[in-house]
Amino acid sequence: MRTCIVFALCVAVATAASVGNDREASVLRYDNNNIGVDGFNYAYETSNGISSQAQAQLKNANSENPALEVRGQFAYTGPDGVVYTVTYVADENGFQPQGAHLPQSP
């Protein structure tokens, strides 16, 4: 669970850093529902166009290999003025991002 929270914070910092230091930005929306070991939901949006949302659910809870599956997306405006959006799944198979600007595997 901590790993997913740390990951989400890293994503937030990375997207904020890519936009620059917008000291005038404010939080327009922030929702957070930590439902304990079974998962979590969060979403936020800022006035400078950064947004993120994710949901996590515990899979295989009663097995030898329980796994937390996180599905989400984040978006930000790059220095070139283009809005970049990444959707992802993070689970026992690793972090699997998708976005129009990301290279596709053959």
Q: Cβ distance 72 to 87 under 8 Å?
A: yes
CA 95/CA 69 separation, integer angstroms: 10
pLDDT along the chain (106 residues), means of 10: 49 52 87 83 94 92 85 94 95 91 84
What local confidence, expressed as pLDDT, does residue 4 receive?
47
pTM here is 0.70
What local confidence, expressed as pLDDT, does residue 67 receive?
84
Give strand pairing partners of 94.
Answer: 91
Torsion angle, CA of 96/101/102/106, rounded to 10 degrees? 110
